[in-house]
Amino acid sequence: MEELSIRNFFAKEKTNKIIIFILTFIFIFSVLVTSIVTKKYSLKEGDIAKVDIKAPREVRDEVSTAARIQQATDSVPIQYNKKPEVKTEIINKINSFFSKLVQVKDGTGEEKDKLQKLKSNVEISLSDDDYLTLIRLSKEDLKTVQDFSIKNMADIYDNNNISDNSQKDNQEDIKKAQESIQLKVNGSKIPKSLKDISASIGYALITPNFFYDKDKTEELKKGSNKKSCSCYDKERSDNSKRRRTGC
């Protein structure tokens, strides 16, 4: 009899453990399911939720992300390449101009004929009055203007960047170059009678030496876009609060 009671005791003990295990499993499972499974709400457009409904995951804010990428793109400065060979071309143009000028000056014909011949054979564009002024100068004065022009323009292109006007208005660059030319002319020791024509030649020789580098600019823009992070929002259904989680 006593042995039977002991067996019943252990049988009940085992049953209780099983029941406790099952109940514990059910409880834990219920908790996990509640936290994992997204609760669904039946709401129509325009309805105001009675409780806060939290987003189950972060949602990418496409508008903010696009705006951030555009901002990063716009912040990339336009890239240029300076071409030092432009200075050499300008110096060659000056030497060629004065060589043809001397030939025309020494030639036969009326002054007006020399003017037309000079205009049609040189690359430096000046007014008729400037051409006539040069034709009337002595060879010594012409050499003075030539030497000054070479030195002056060499300095201008060593110390100024004149953009090619393809991406922005280059009038400001041209204006700065003109001011530099005038300062050098005014501060020079050449005769006063030669300063105006020297300035006119300098103005006529201003040409871009700073050119837009499309490939380099696009490369920097792409790199900037890759570094721009996306923007994500976690927001309540009533939109009364918004929390930016990444931007």
pLDDT at 29 over 50: yes
pTM to 2 decimal places: 0.60
Where does the pLDDT of residue 240 fall: very low under 50, low under 70, confident under 90, or very high at 90 and above?
very low
User: What pLDDT sits at residue 241?
Assistant: 45
Condensed to tens digits (0 to 9), the pLDDT of residues 50-92 reads 666 665 556 555 666 566 656 655 565 676 788 989 999 999 9
User: What pLDDT sits at residue 223?
Assistant: 66
Half-sphere CA count of 133, side-chain side, radius 13 A: 15
The burial class, CB within 10 Å (0-12 / 13-18 / 19+), for 4 is exposed
Q: E strands of the chain, at which residues? A: 59-60, 80-82, 210-212, 232-235, 242-246
User: What pLDDT sits at residue 27?
Assistant: 73
Query: Would strands 59-60 and 80-82 be described as parallel, antiparallel, or unpaired?
Result: unpaired
Q: Which of 202, 195, 241 is nearest to 55 (CA)?
A: 241
pLDDT at 229 over 60: no
Condensed to tens digits (0 to 9), the pLDDT of residues 138-191 reads 999 999 999 999 999 999 999 988 988 777 788 999 999 999 999 999 999 999
Residue 143 to residues 67, 77, 177: CA-CA distances in angstroms? Answer: 60, 43, 23
Where does the pLDDT of residue 247 fall: very low under 50, low under 70, confident under 90, or very high at 90 and above?
low
| Alpha carbon distance 76, 221 (integer Å) | 6
pLDDT at 125 over 70: yes
**Which residue ranges make up each domain of the chain?**
59-76+215-246, 80-212
CB 174 within 8 A of CB 206: yes
Q: CB atoms < 10 A from the CB of 132, how many?
A: 16
